[in-house]
Structure 1
Amino acid sequence: MLIGIAGGVVAGIVLLILLFKLMWRVAEPNEALVISGSKHGEGLGFRIITGRGTLVVPGVQVVRRLSLDLNEAALDVECVTSQGIPVHVKGVVIFKVGDDPSSIANAARRFLDQQKMMGQRVHNVFAGHLRSIVGGLTVEDMIRDRERLTGETRSASGIEMEKLGLIIDSLQIQEILDPTGYITNLAAPHAAAVQRDARIAAAEADRRATEAEQEAFARKAEATRNSGIQQAGYQAEMDTAAARALQAGPLAQAAARQEVVVQETKVAELEAHRKEQQLQADVRKPADARAYETRTKAEADRDARISAAEALSRETDLKTAAEANRVKVAAAAEAEATRARGLAAAEATRATGEAQAAAEAAKGLAEAEAARAKGLAEAEATRAQGLAEAEGIKARAAALAENQEAVVAQQLAENWPAIVRAGADAFGNVEHMVLLNGAEGMSEMFAKALTMGGTGLGLARQLLTSMNTGAPAEAPAEPAPATQVIPVQADSGN
């Protein structure tokens, strides 16, 4: 009986274990359990279990699993830019169901039985927003600022993805294709510049390589030249040593001969010195003695003559000084006498001068009075004479106006002697005169001198006639110069 009880207990335990195992559900780390079929206080109508286990009543509750793994949606969208250029944008979206209960609930409601359709739904969401964003951009903006395109697309799709219970882990624009070749044309200048730079770089590298090669060749040639120079130097040294070896015998003989010549020269110099000393003793010494004797005698004679001359000169100086002193004394005495006589004469002259000065003063006063009276008389006479002459000139002017011919003739008659004398003065400086026709020539010459007056008379008549008649009517004449009648007095010899 005890065995039956024990078996029953064991069977019950096994049954309970089997029942617990049948009812117990555990959520994996990458999934969420969605349990429906019972009421829950959260108001969702189902229960969400993540990362733990729970009991599920079979036949009453239904358990479904929602994957929390990453999902990938490929983007392949045809768009049109703001420039009207069609482009083909390729990218990829990495997404998953959110870990929070709200995201799991939203995803469960939409994708619990259609989890394989998540990628398609996400593609549709991103395709619409990508077309809208690309439509506001240029091709250059898309190429140069791809992050902007990615950010705007992700920001625009975030709200809808949140409603779907999904979160975006990554969005990448992989490729932008241009069926029209616009992007290729944009890249052409840059590609050409790159190719140009590449060719320039290649040419520069080639130039540098060529320069390096040429420099290496130059260094090689320099090394070859230096080696040849050194070899030539060594060869020259060898040739020099060989030549010196060949010349050793003749050089030794020449050196020995030179030594013999040197010794012979020294012997000759010694012999010449000996002969010079002999000449010094035999010839020069006696000659020097005689010359010294002659020079000494001459100097003694010269000193005697100089002494005599100096004595005579001192005697002459003493005589000259004595005579000069005598003359000086006599001159001083004469000067003193002359000064005394001068003083006496000066006193006499001063007395005489004072008397004469008084007399001269009185005489000067009398002469001054007489000169003043005489000057007054002469001035009065000069004034009267001037008035008389003025009256005479006035009268002659009136007469000249009435009878020019008579006045001119009278003036010529009164001054005829002076005119003839002036004509004769032309012959006064003539020392010798040769007359070809004798006395007749002399008469003609004097007649010509005398007729000068007549010529002057004719000129005067013409001048007076032109003044009285005036200029011709057809040509105005220049104004006649003012004329002044100057009386000519005959030389009375006083």
Structure 2
Amino acid sequence: MTLNVESPRVYTSQGVPISVTGIAQVKVQGQYEEMLLAACEQFLGKTEHEVQQVALETLEGHQRAIMGSMSVEEIYKDRKKFNQNVFEVASSDLINMGITVLSYTLKDIHDDEGYLDALGMARTAEVKRDARIGEAEANKDSQIKEALAEEERMAAKYVNDTEIAKAQRDFELKKATYDMEVQAKKAEAELAYDLQAAKTRQKIKEEQMQIKVVERAQEILIQEQEIQRRQKELEATIKQPADSEKFKLEKLAEAARNKALLEAEAEAESIRVKGEAEALAVEAKARAEANTMVQKAAALQEYKEAAMLEMYLSTLPKVAAEVAAPLSQAKKVTMVSSGSSEVGASKLTGEVMDIITRVPAMVKTMTGVDVSKALGERVPPPRSLYLERVVSDMKREQIF
């Protein structure tokens, strides 16, 4: 049960009237037989309200008694002591009635005379005074401590700045080291990634090549089967008729070859006979020419000088013809003379004869054979006779 214990205008030990309100929690104790019997004796036949009223009045009386034994300051300042006193006194009295006080708490304290307010004001002024004194002392101490703190702060700041700079230096060094390691690891990771990517691409290419190989093998197999099919088709549609045609052509070719062979054998026999006849004719001609050469050689041996002279004289017209050949191609010849020499055809013929007379010397120079000496150093015929012979021969050869 919860009881609201009110004690209005109770005089304290100092004679100051105050009002107090407390809250108590009580219950009828049924765990112990003696207390239960005591409660039955006290409250048998009473209602719950009546039981609460008995407990409330008992607590209120003890609360008043404690208030009268204490000063306002004690009650106000030491509420725990007040609560403890009321709880102990009320519990010892109510327990005899079979009721147990579970808890008691001072809820409110006030007065109608303004004592508590004055007490609060005095205390407030005292507190304010102490506060101002404390504030002044605190300000003084604060300024002193602030100066000391500032000094310590600056010293600490310098030390701290030094430590910060040192820490910054260490941080930068470590950061550079870490960055190098990170970059190295990153480069290794990138290289590893590139390597793995290259391996993957290579593997994909190998798989693709393997697929192409399999596809190519299938295509080759299909092509081979198609070739076999076409071969069988060709054998059925072309080869067998072609074999028949081939056999026919072979027989025709064999007949033509036999015919040509017989004709060639006949032609060869004819040529052989003709060749033998021609060989006999050539042999007879050669024998006749040989006899002629033998006779000619014998004649030359017998008539050596006369023969050589004859050959020499027969060759001169040919030489003259070759010398005069350019003149035969000329359409018009204009000759200039000083008046003391020959003019006309005789002049032209004389110049040709001068060239011919140099032939023996030219032959000797080119071949080393002295024609004049070979003729036995015979005195040549007079120039007039010689020229007449050459001119007559040249006319006969139709040079002029």
Relative contact order: is structure 1 or structure 2 higher (C-alpha 8 Å, sep ≥ 6)? 2
Q: Normalization by structure 1: what TM-score?
A: 0.26
Q: Normalization by structure 2: what TM-score?
A: 0.31
Q: Please identify which structure carries the higher helix content.
A: 2
